[in-house]
Amino acid sequence: MSALKIKKGSSKHSAYNLRPNFSDVTETHTLAVLVENEPGVLARVIGLFSGRGYNIESLTVAEVDHQGHLSRITIVTKGTPQVIEQIKAQLGRIVPVHEVHDLTVEGSSVERELALFKVKSTGDKRVEALRLADIFRAQVVDSTLESFVFQLTGAPDKIDAFADLMRPLGLIEIARTGVAALARGAGA
């Protein structure tokens, strides 16, 4: 068999790109999932994530329609664009799931989280904690001679920033609700 005669300027490679052109960039996405409010649905949704090795950064669940028995699950997860698409497709195949919305892709959205911070401090650190709480518009919901409990509502980045500033001032405990999110505007 003779060697291929390839003209100058052409390539010996195929005209078809057989290499996968998947992105390996990890993105954070907020998914809103409307489901039947019945036993086992949350376990099935979470099982989809754990069974495939996907991580959940934040999870909130609440009934949103008492008469229609519907609950909204808001999930913040990370993955490549291909993984996110796979998650959405698999969520849509679960029987009690009515709708799956990727709020990150579908346009702008409002994301908020509630957090409680317990800070134990005295003297100047106590005064500084109160000053920072005022700047962040955190509310004091409990106070003793040794500690405060602050309540803060805002975007997850704001919650993280407040926690970082409170750590050297005596932060001893945090409770976070997870992200609640809605699409902006009149559309659903």
Domain containing residue 177: 109-183
Mean pLDDT of all residues in 31-42 = 95
Shared-domain flag, residues 57 and 124: no
The CATH number linked to 169 is: 3.30.70.1150
Q: What is the per-residue pLDDT across 47-82, written as a single tens digit (0 to 9) for each?
A: 999 888 899 999 999 999 999 999 999 999 999 999
Shared-domain flag, residues 98 and 147: no
Structure tokens at 143: 């106070």
CA atoms within 13 A on the CB side of 53: 1
CB atoms within 10 A of CB 187: 7
Q: What is the per-residue pLDDT across 23-33, written as a single tens digit (0 to 9) for each?
A: 678 999 999 99
Residue 88: is its pLDDT beyond 70?
yes
61 Cβ contact list (under 8 Å, min separation 6):
42, 71, 72, 73, 74
Q: What is the per-residue pLDDT across 95-143, written as a single tens digit (0 to 9) for each?
A: 899 999 999 999 899 999 999 999 999 999 999 999 999 999 999 999 9
Residue 156: is its pLDDT beyond 60?
yes
Strand partners, 174: 117
What is the C-alpha to C-alpha distance for residues 21 and 58, in angstroms, rounded to an integer? Answer: 29
Find, among 145, 104, 151, the residue nearest to 121 by Cα. Answer: 145
